[in-house]
Structure 1
Amino acid sequence: MNTITPILKPLTLPNGAVLKNRLLMAPMTTCAGFFDGGVTGDLVEYYRSRAGTIGTVIVECCFIDPKGPAFPGAIAIDSDNKIPGLARIASAIKSKGSKAILQIYHGGRMVEPELIGGKKPVAPSAIAAPREGATTPQALTGEEVEVMITKFGDAVNRAIKAGFDGVEIHGANTYLIQQFYSPNSNQRDDKWGGSRDNRARFPLEVLEITHKMAKRFADSSFIIGYRFSPEEIEVPGIRFDDTMYLLEKLAARGVDYLHFSVGHYLRTSINDTADTTTLIEKYHAQRSDTLARIPIIGVGGVVNKSDAESALDKGYDLIAVGKACIAYPDWADRILKNEHLELFIDSTQREALTIPEPLWRFSLVDAMIRDVSSGGRKYKAGVFQEKVEAEALKLKINVTLDTDRITDITLVQDDTLDVDFSTSFEILRSRILVANSPYVDAVTGATAQSEALKKAVSRAMTTSTKEHVIEEGGNPEAPQSYDVVVIGSGGAGLSAAIQAYDEGARVVIVEKMPSIGGNTIKASVGMNAAETRFQKLKGIEDSKELFYEETLKGGKFKNNHDLLRTFVERAPEAVEWLASHDIELNDITITGGMSIDRTHRPADRSAVGGFLISGLVKNINQRNIDVLLDTSVEEILHADGVVTGVKIANEYNEHHILNAKSVIVATGGFSANRAMVVKYRPELDGFVTTNHKGATGSGIVLLQNIGADTVDMSEIQIHPTVEQTTSYLVSEAIRGGGAILVSQEGKRFYNEMETRDKVSAQIIALPEKSAWIVFDDQVRQNNKAADEYIARGFVVSAPSVGELALKLNMEPGNLQATLERYNQFVVQKQDEDFGRTTALRCELNQGPFHAIRIAPGVHHTMGGVTINTETEVLDSQKQVIKGVWAAGEVVGGIHGANRIGGNAVADIIIFGTLAGHNAAVHALS
């Protein structure tokens, strides 16, 4: 072993206990306990196999009260009968030479009733967690708070009896202890709430009783740690200054270590995304001499020895390792032998790696599982250097490739290095190495830089592939053969590619833009479907027939009836198809033109587009499907009435032929092609568009060149709520969540939940030709997209309605009267002014209040090429052009004269998967 590395240096804690090195196994949920929180044999062996060289193992959180489990399969320390099982874990860890620390917690309002026998969860205040379907908890009485503190003390006593070397108090992850400190979840007016000092009382009392139990029942070397989440994104919520205040209080009382709970040890603020200072830097800058004596644990993003050493160099005293310890039970031994590790798990090795079955199915592990039996694309092993350029950023990177994977990405030393990118680089590097693909989620707040780095990695892989072909005696310029070529990488293209691959086809995706996602990544509201499993779980009664009729009405009865019927019938299957690919849209809202909640979205109510693309790209990576970025299709090759492939040109203007029996066109619409928009709708000249710049109608032209017919080309939808300075679409989910539209006079002027064309027309008819979306903090909390709008800087906020009106240059009395009248309509569930019947969800009376100035923008082109119900492209004689399919916004006829919000996402998945199926069957027949 290399004894020089600082990670092997022992550390003496404030209580005198000595940790043999700086490495800890992080506490990670395994979901592997018995139904009552008991310990299974698999769990004992899981911890035994990971102890040894690693200095300390922090065992996953144990709930201290029967109402405390925050997830299924949690283990418990709520009664004395749990001590023997926990003792087996402690003994297994210590027998291998590692210290054993047990994390203790209570889930508070994060507990689901079904986990505690249908009972109500408890919390500091009767305020539901800011997530869809969250149960409003029962507020603990003052006496119950005191009892809860004693239960934490009892848990410490049991941990001591079980033989653990210490406990970690879990004051993070929005669980009960953090809930008491948070001004979001704690709105008490007794000694346990209100001021920051009062809110800090509960965590300090838990620490105090922990000390009492340790002093009474343990020896002086018993370790007491505290885990904390440095910030909350909610408003109001914990900010970093609040955290430092609490940590100083904890340090004054005495703790042996403090444990950051973050996704990456170099994380920056989630509140101020413009601030690139890492939290650990802020911590060092602000801590007192007393706090400086407390060791600090960093976590997240540590895979190799260099990562651990980097974390120590950044100012952490100890390093907790999570996913790498799951993938490699002997992780510490491996890195000390200077092995370079990749964060993946062989799909055949669950038993060999001693991973309990429930943990194997957990999303954290599932994301690391790789089928190593599939060959994937092959590279020439070596280091390939590429330049990265994005905005003012210029970097060089080295990409190290093995014959079948990316093994490393490093920054080349350069005096002009933009150090502000270094944190984002490390996060993105980790994501790419885990996925073995450059097609991963961008780093929030560094999108342009992320895309540039991903592109550089993609270039290196392309170069290596060419060199591999040459090395094998082949010609990289020779035509390549596939079964299916998919043009376009939005939702329709990705779902088509996945489906075609799963049916045995060799697939390639061709994308003219430098990144994956198309216009889908900008989608906000959700996916419409009727009679779904998720509706039934929520007690929503719906029918496909009603969905059909409302969509037909919304499209002004111009919809192609056969396509619409296929769309409606297949929508529930499409929702299930996504769920089967780990893309679950289980929250439900409503959009304009619908009478029933049938718009499916992510559980956290975030914008559907990024969630959808992230999940689909994960599936693309798992299948090693080839993706060619910055590559345009110049021509669909067509001979004797049959498609034979495509001619492409890459960013270097190199031309190639891709042979294929099947071609799927999923290139989107033409909203970003102003000339094309004005050709069909001259009155839309000058309107901004919500679409990405690649939505130019290129796929329509490609198909027209081989004889495809078009339909409804003049049917172009404008969306009513577009922020004009950024062309950013404000999701219909905000109005669907209860927001209203007001004019500059401060008055409502129309039914906000009417179809997009009608609402747009009413806004344009206003003297100012714009309007304000107004909503309160309840609506914000229930729509994650609202926080994104706030972060982007185009939301005006104020603590009261009157103050908001003044900021909007609006008569305060008018806006106040408007909200009061609307709130009456919410109570009586009847809008006497404009007949709004849906989304009368809550009175707008909880400050702060928010507003966004909006006006219409070009949003969707309903027209496109003609297809049949099998997604086959038709010519002007309604005859099938053999071998070519189309799906998504490139197609016309489905939506008629107006698209209902939420129908586009359904469209791309329904017809994307159908096109993938039919194209694969044709190619392989």
Structure 2
Amino acid sequence: MYSKNDILSPFTLPNGTQLKNRLLMAPMTTCTGYFDGSVTSELVEYYRERAGSIGTVIVECGFVDDRGLAFPGAIGIDHDNKIEGLAKIAEAIQARGSKAVLQIYHGGRMVEPELIGGRTPVGPSAIAAPREGAATPEALTAEEVEAMVTKFGEATRRAIKAGFDGVEIHGANTYLIQQFFSPNSNQRDDQWGGSRENRARFPLAVLEITRKMVRQYADPSFIIGYRFSPEELEVPGIRFDDTLYLLERLAEQGLHYLHFSMGYTLRPSIVDKHDPTPLIRKYTALRSEKLAQIPMIGVGGIVNKSDAELAIEHGYDLVAVGKACIAYPDWTDRIARGETVELFIDSTQREALTIPEPLWRFSLVDAMIRDLSSMPTGKFKSGMFRETVQDENNELGINVSLETDRITDIVLESQEGLDVTFVSSFEEIRTRILDANTPHVDAVSGATTQSEAVKKAVTKAMAKSCKALVLEEGGSLEPPRYDVVVIGSGGAGLAAAIQASDRDTKVLIVEKMSSIGGNTIKASVGMNAAGTRFQKMKGIDDCKEKFYQESLKGGQGLNNPELLRSFVDNAPEAVEWLADRGIVLNDITITGGMSIDRTHRPADRSAVGGFLISGLVRNISQRDIDVMLDTDVIDILMENGAVSGLRVKNEENEILTIYAKSIVVATGGFSANQEMVVKYRPELKDFVTTNHKGATGSGIALLENIGAGTVDMGEIQIHPTVEQTTSYLISEAIRGGGAILVSQKGERFFNEMETRDKVSAAIIGLPEHYAYIVFDEQVRLNNKAADEYIGRGFVVSADSPRQLADKLNMDMHAFLATLERYNVFVEKQNDEDFGRKTALRHPIHEGPFYAIQIAPGVHHTMGGVTVNTNTEVLDVNNQVIPGVFAAGEVVGGIHGGNRIGGNAVADIIIFGTMAGRNAANLARCS
């Protein structure tokens, strides 16, 4: 008779290997590997912390081929150089007393080209996955299929050599092995496709070579598992009887466990929706005696001991635990003590829980994060409030249910013609909002517009509920009062709001756009600072004086020296301020105009903007900071010569008065205001801009209306490398990583690492008024942004320089000569032609080779309102306007006649935090 205590008792697999209990940690994506798929120390510690009391840890899938990674930050087992890092994971898990099993896979057609350097994914057939924007894969030839089987075998050999106790063959989640078995993705007419028997050949071949490697290199205790998805929705697609056929064949061949891959252990069929019978029940009723000898793992929805026991009662032999192991590294100990846990993560506990930063930002975890310190209480009128959102074709109704202190549900009204992608993204953003109990959560990747629409609807419902509660309780809707109001929600505004809140003041953010992030979200390269802890860790010898002199030179000597000195002096502290709030910029590169690596960026070398805003928004959500979106500031109110508040107009065209003791204006520049740009620089008429559409200079106008002075309004920077059809900025980090600029003639024409104004002028001076950024695979691998450009279709690629020249209609001989000459300069570390002194990192000689056509675009307005070193706004007579502070691109004087790449992000954090601190101090004294 089954005993509920059995889940904590030992369990023996068919090969005689004993597991300490029936519980396993499920394989879950962490996105924490290095760019080449090797293991990071963070990942080792993550697994070490979760091993011990749980019987077995199944480590996240390792790709067997470098065209097989299905997500960023994936780990690889595609080369022997990965063994050393993987061994550290196995050792960490085993040292704590758990078994270590490594999942191996290939993403097949589910791989996005940008993850594999713009190359085309592979699959059984040249049929794209049934999802929007999916790439059509190249069909593997018969010889390539055989080679792929060998790669799975080699991966098994490496796992054995790394010391793992077993491997789990990943035949689920629509990855390559499942694709071969599926009649939807496999429409071959050779021995690898067609009939069900032929479609089963590939998974069976992978299992056979895995068994062969185990016989050759491991002892009999080595575990072989197989994970499968039981059904596909597509027509044609895998059905449950197909899966039973495959599992019976796998069992005949021999393996040690099977692993159902479903979101919930007791899930019924997704095809036959009229049958509520859990699939595990169907499986146990239909399997043969032979198949019944193979233990079955269930996964999905296991949060407490009772969930695991229920799964065992329904027919599973073992249970894999997913999210609960992330939230509770000691989960098995907790349920052994009889604790009941709730699936959430305290927003302040990332480090304590040993959750790597990339995983913390991944949707799997992000949806569980909850701020326990600022949960709203007694805030809402209970009830349901209906709002509308707009997809591409329809106006959709959303019903938001609220209790006094919580958002309890968000329901999308059903109607015909609903876009499938909208429904999918809605479910994800809904979960994030409900788990966090706030609409201020990260948007769903790839569905930003839909996410922001849902977030806005929830925000509006909450506002209506609050008003209804006030009226119900006999109150009046008096104008709200705040200590500090921040206008603008880019990096400077968010930093100011966070810093002001940390000074114990009540803070409001007012944003005219429908989403948070401003122009900062488009930032790409990084944040400059000299003499930082992270530079010292990398052995970079830098000093503030050198940073000051190079910024002054880059700004053509027009910088306000006092502001520039404050900027340079406070930069290292600003980097630490971010790190203290979980936003770590510890990788370092270089930009034009700098002589040394001092541009700080995320460890994964991704664009800094999204990383920065994501972290700042998370900090906003952790504090009691109100946010008003779609709200225009009409004017700043003054009383007795000092600020007293604002008049604003919201989306419903209501005119509201908001009282405040101090304000911070962080509304950005005016690059997107063509009329304003042309007013100061007529020659820039019709130039594209890299800025978002909200960069219109509205904050400058607001401040001028209360007497603020301005400076350097004609100093407008054009960025040299902008993709012209989309106005998309190509990061300076690409050139800083070793790329060059080449004209249509195939020749270099200028020092690529000069300041932006000079490089832009050189491009404009070419007969064609455009150029190409040229780089190779080495540059791509070290700059994650390059994969984004490839995915967006900006990049022309070729296997050789000759082919690239041909694709660009460029003189091949001139281009080859250019590369050869540049590579000699790299070897000598001396650019004899143009005097380039930095970022001569390595020769451009490793294929594939890449080129992006670019030309200059309006990028940054150095001019703005005048401030002092306390960020106080000055009037036309250079007198302080009491209670008014400003930070970011709305301010003039800091950058002079040209901004150095990487100085803008430093600017917004340095002066944003300063403005928030000073505004809070003033408010507290009022």
For the superposition of Structure 1 and Structure 2, which TM-score range results when normalised by the shorter chain? 0.7 to 0.9
1:208–1:678 Cα change, 3 Å: closer
TM-superposition CA deviations, 1:452-498 (whole Å, max 9, x none): 2222222222222222222222233x200000000000000000000
Equivalent in the alignment of 1:171: 104
Calculate the TM-score normalised by the size of structure 1. 0.74
Listed one character per residue, the Cα deviations across residues 372-398 of structure 1 (whole Å, up to 9, x for unaligned) are 465468222233222221333543322
2:841 paired residue number: 841
Q: How many residues align?
A: 779
CA distance in 1, matches of 2:557, 2:534: 29
In 1, distance between residues paired with 2:628 and 2:173? Answer: 40
Structure 1 counterpart of 2:607, one-letter code: A
1:616/1:313 CA distance change after superposition, 3 Å: farther
Kept in 1, the 8 Å contact 2:156–2:167? The answer is no
* Cα displacement string for residues 90-115 of structure 1 (whole angstroms, at most 9, x for unaligned residues): 6xxxxxxxxx444369999xxxxxxx
Can you list the C-alpha shifts for 1:257-311, whole angstroms capped at 9, x where unaligned? 54489xxx99xxxxxxxxxx999998879988754667654478x8999999999
**For the structure 1 residues 393 and 203, does the alpha-carbon distance in structure 2 shift closer, same or farther, using more than 3 Å as the test?**
farther
Letter of the 1:249 counterpart: A
3-state DSSP class of the match of 1:882?
A: strand
Q: Residue in 2 aligned with 1:665?
A: 665
User: For residues 753 and 472 of structure 1, do their structure 2 counterparts lie closer, same or farther at Cα, with a shift above 3 Å needed?
Assistant: same
After superposition, residues 202-241 of structure 1 pair within 5 angstroms as 202-205=154-157, 225-226=168-169
Q: What CA distance in whole angstroms lies between the structure 2 residues aligned with 1:29 and 1:660? A: 45
Asked if 1 retains the 8 angstrom alpha-carbon contact of 2:27 and 2:61, the reply is no
Distance in 1 between the 2:241 and 2:827 partners?
49
Q: Distance in 1 between matches of 2:558 and 2:486?
A: 29
**Equivalent AA in structure 2 for residue 794 of structure 1:** F
CA distance in 1, matches of 2:582, 2:733: 23
* Amino acid in structure 2 at the alignment position of 1:593: G
Answer whether contact 1:717 1:860 (CA < 8 A) is retained. Answer: yes
Aligned residue in 2 for 1:201? 153
For the structure 1 residues 767 and 784, does the alpha-carbon distance in structure 2 shift closer, same or farther, using more than 3 Å as the test? same
Task: Using the TM superposition, give the Cα deviation of residue 646 of structure 1 relative to its aligned residue in structure 2, in angstroms.
Answer: 0.5
Structure 1 residue 674 and structure 2 residue 668: aligned? no
Q: Report the equivalent of 1:775.
A: 775
What is the rounded CA distance, in whole Å, between the counterparts of 1:663 and 1:624 in structure 2? 17
Structure-2 separation of matches of 1:306 and 1:885: 59
The equivalent residue for 1:525 is: 525
**More displaced stretch, 667-676 vs 841-850:** 841-850
Following the alignment from structure 2 to structure 1, what is the Cα–Cα distance between the partners of residues 694 and 278? 43
Write the letter of the residue equivalent to 1:89: S
Contact 1:257 1:297 in 2 (8 A): no
Shift of 1:168: 3.8
Do the aligned partners of residues 409 and 537 (structure 1) sit closer, same or farther apart at CA in structure 2, a change above 3 Å counting?
A: same
Q: Distance in 1 between matches of 2:152 and 2:77?
A: 23
For the structure 1 residues 135 and 442, does the alpha-carbon distance in structure 2 shift closer, same or farther, using more than 3 Å as the test? closer
1:827 and 1:374, CA in 2 relative to 1: closer, same or farther beyond 3 A? same
The question of whether the paired residues in 1 share the 8 Å contact of 2:746 and 2:818 is answered with yes
> Equivalents in 1 of 2:479, 2:725: separation in Å?
45
Which residue number in structure 2 is paired with residue 406 of structure 1?
407
Residues 1:892 and 1:284: Cα distance change in structure 2 (over 3 Å) = farther
Give the structure 2 partner of residue 439 of structure 1. Answer: 440
Alpha-carbon deviation of 1:70?
Answer: 6.6
d(CA) in 2 for partners of 1:756, 1:183: 30
Secondary structure (helix, strand or coil) at the match of 1:661 reads strand
Alignment match, 2:458: 457
The answer for the alignment partner of 1:7 in structure 2 is: none
- Determine the structure 2 residue equivalent to 1:691: 691
Paired residue secondary structure (2:778):
helix
The correspondence of residues 698-847 of structure 1 with structure 2, limited to 5 A, is 698-847=698-847
Secondary structure of the structure 1 residue equivalent to 2:518: coil
Query: Helix, strand or coil for the counterpart of 1:371?
Result: coil
Q: For the Cα contact (< 8 Å) 2:172–2:261, is it kept in 1? A: no
Could you say if the C-alpha distance between residues 628 and 306 of structure 1 is closer, same or farther in structure 2, counting changes exceeding 3 Å?
farther
Q: In structure 2, do the counterparts of structure 1 residues 855 and 25 end up closer, same or farther at CA, with 3 Å as the change threshold?
A: same
SS at structure 2 position matched to 1:540: coil
Q: Does the CA-based 8 Å contact 1:570-1:910 persist in structure 2?
A: yes
- Deviation track 1:300-353 (CA, whole Å, cap 9, x = no partner) reads 8x899999999999999742553346658999x99xxxx997734497xx9xxx
Give the CA deviation at 1:584.
0.4
Map 1:162-561 onto structure 2 (within 5 A): 168-171=101-104, 195-205=147-157, 225-226=168-169, 247-251=203-207, 258-259=226-227, 291=246, 297-298=260-261, 318-319=299-300, 321-324=321-324, 343-345=344-346, 358-359=353-354, 364=360, 368-372=369-373, 375=376, 378-392=379-393, 394-476=395-477, 478-561=478-561
Question: Does the CA-based 8 Å contact 1:172-1:229 persist in structure 2?
Answer: no
**1:398-417: CA deviation from partner (whole Å, max 9, x where unpaired):** 22323223233232221221
SS at match of 2:788: helix
The code of the aligned residue for 2:839 comes to A
Q: Is the 8 A contact 2:722 2:729 kept in 1?
A: yes
CA RMSD in angstroms comes to 5.1
Cα distance in 2, alignment partners of residues 244 and 499 from structure 1? 59
Partner Cα distance (1:623, 1:173) in 2: 42
Cα distance in structure 2, aligned partners of 1:230 and 1:246: 16
After superposition, the Cα gap between the structure-2 partners of 1:411 and 1:291, relative to the gap in structure 1 and judged at 3 Å, is farther
% identical aligned pairs: 55
Contact 1:394 1:417 in 2 (8 A): no
Distance 1:765 1:194 in 2: 54
Pairing 1:36-75 to 2, within 5 Å after superposition: 71=43, 73=45
In terms of mean alpha carbon deviation, does 423-432 or 247-256 score higher?
A: 247-256
SS of equivalent residue, structure 2 residue 53: helix
CA contact (8 A) 1:750 1:762 kept: yes
Partner residue in 2 for 1:904? 904
Counterpart of 1:482 in 2: which secondary structure?
strand
Measured in 2, the distance between the counterparts of 1:496 and 1:155 equals 42
Pick from 79, 86, 89: which aligns with 2:53? 89
Indicate conservation of the 8 Å contact 1:393/1:418, yes or no. Answer: no
1:516 positional shift: 0.2
Are 2:870 and 2:914, in contact at CA under 8 Å, matched by a contact in 1?
yes
Deviations 1:401-444 (A, max 9, x none): 23223233232221221112232222222322333222222222
Distance 1:155-1:563 versus aligned 2 partners, 3 A rule: closer
* Inter-CA distance 634–281: structure 2 relative to 1 (3 Å threshold): farther
The alpha carbon displacement at 1:613 in A equals: 0.3
**Contact between 1:303 and 1:343, CA under 8 Å: does it hold in 2?**
no
Could you list the per-position Cα deviations for residues 656-699 of structure 1 after superposition, in whole angstroms to 9, with x for gaps in the alignment? 11101101000000000001000000110100000000000000
Measured in 1, the distance between the counterparts of 2:354 and 2:150 equals 38
Tell me if the contact between 1:342 and 1:407 (Cα under 8 Å) persists in the aligned partners: no
SS at match of 2:571: helix
Distance 1:839 1:227, change over 3 A: same
Measure, in 2, the Cα distance between the counterparts of 1:105 and 1:680. 55
State the partner residue of 1:646.
Answer: 646
Q: Does 1:103 align with 2:58?
A: yes
Q: 1:899 to 1:852 in 2, by over 3 A?
A: same
Q: Write the distance in 1 (CA, Å) between the matches of 2:501 and 2:266.
A: 34
Gaps of 5+ in 2: 1-11, 34-38, 118-142, 177-184, 187-191, 193-198, 212-222, 251-257, 281-296, 301-319
Q: Report how far residue 799 of structure 1 moved.
A: 1.1
Q: Give me the whole-angstrom Cα distance separating, in 2, the residues matched to 1:626 and 1:313.
A: 45
Query: Quick one: distance in 1 between partners of 2:341 and 2:400?
Result: 14
1:445: Cα distance to partner? 2.3
The one-letter code of the counterpart of 1:103 is I
Change in CA separation of 1:308 and 1:768 when aligned onto 2, cut-off 3 Å = same
- 8 Å CA contact 1:636, 1:643 repeated in 2: yes
Query: How far apart, in 1, do the equivalents of 2:684 and 2:40 lie?
Result: 57
User: Which residue of structure 2 aligns with residue 56 of structure 1?
Assistant: none
